[in-house]
Structure 1
Amino acid sequence: MVIKSPQDFGAGILFILFGAIGLYVGSDLTFGSARNMGPGYFPMIICGLIVLIGLIVTAKSLSLEGPPIERIQFRPILFILLAIAAFGLLIAEVGAVISSILLILFAAYARRNVNLIETVVFAVGTAAFVVIIFVYALGQPMPVWWGR
């Protein structure tokens, strides 16, 4: 057996693993039928489809050429996790606008060569979108500004 596409092989194995874990965890739930769905019906179908996709991707990796697995890059992981953590910690204290802007600014540094003007414009637009959709349209109870 020769693996021609290591990235696809690794992805396929992960799909199979996550789908199998989901099937195992959901095995205690009642499955039901299409007409009378139980609580486990939809999760089991989705997990089965994830396993099927994993099998297809793994089989594809044995027949089609593909790129090798790249080295893990810690910079994107670190900055995305920092951005999410900062948002979660700050939203109650400084409000949706400032925490959304900080989220975008931190996340932008996950890549190299960040264009600061482009990032600030995107951050302000995203903050406006968050406030309009979540605070006003959906009525989520979160402060918009610092101290409000």
Structure 2
Amino acid sequence: MVIKSPQDFGAGILFILFGAIGLFVGSDLTFGSARNMGPGYFPMIICGLIALIGVIVTVKSLAIEGPAIERIQFRPIIFILLAIAAFGLLIAQIGAVISSILLIMFAAYARRGVNLVETVIFAVTTAALVVIIFVYGLGQPMPVWWGR
């Protein structure tokens, strides 16, 4: 057995593991049927599909050439996690608009060579969509602006 795509092989194994863990954890829930779904029906179907995707990706890694596993890049991981944590901590105090803009601005620095104008346009557009969709469209109880 020759692994032609180490990246796909690793991803496939992770998918299989996550699917198997989900199936194991959800095994205590009542499955039910398509007509009368139990609390475990949807989670078990999703976990089974995740494991199936893992099997497909793993088999594909044995047949098709692909890239090697790259070295872990910590900069993107750190910036994205910190941006999400800051958003969660700040949204109640400074509102959806400002915290969304800060989230995008901070997360943009997960990659090198950030275009500031492009990032500001994306951040403002995303903040507007957050307010339109979540506050007005779905009626989520979150402040829109600082102090409101």
Partner of 2:68: 68
Cα deviation digits, residues 8-30 of structure 1 (max 9, x gap): 10011001000000100010011
Partner of 1:55: 55
**Alpha-carbon deviation of 1:37?**
1.9
Cα deviation digits, residues 101-129 of structure 1 (max 9, x gap): 10010011011110101111111111111
Where in structure 2 are there 5+ consecutive unaligned residues? none
Partner of 2:113: 113
Amino acid at match of 1:68: A
The runs of at least 4 consecutive aligned structure 1 residues that moved more than 3 Å come to: none
Determine if the alignment matches structure 1 residue 78 to structure 2 residue 81: no
Determine if the alignment matches structure 1 residue 7 to structure 2 residue 12: no
Distance 1:140 1:34 in 2: 31
Amino acid at match of 2:102: L
Distance 2:32 2:6 in 1: 38
Partner of 2:131: 131
Distance 1:41 1:79 in 2: 36
Where in structure 1 are there 5+ consecutive unaligned residues? none
Amino acid at match of 1:122: F
**Alpha-carbon deviation of 1:142?**
1.1
Cα deviation digits, residues 72-124 of structure 1 (max 9, x gap): 00111111011101111111111111101100100110111101011111111
Identical positions, percent:
89
Distance 1:136 1:59 in 2: 46
SS across alignment from 1:13: helix
Distance 2:68 2:86 in 1: 34
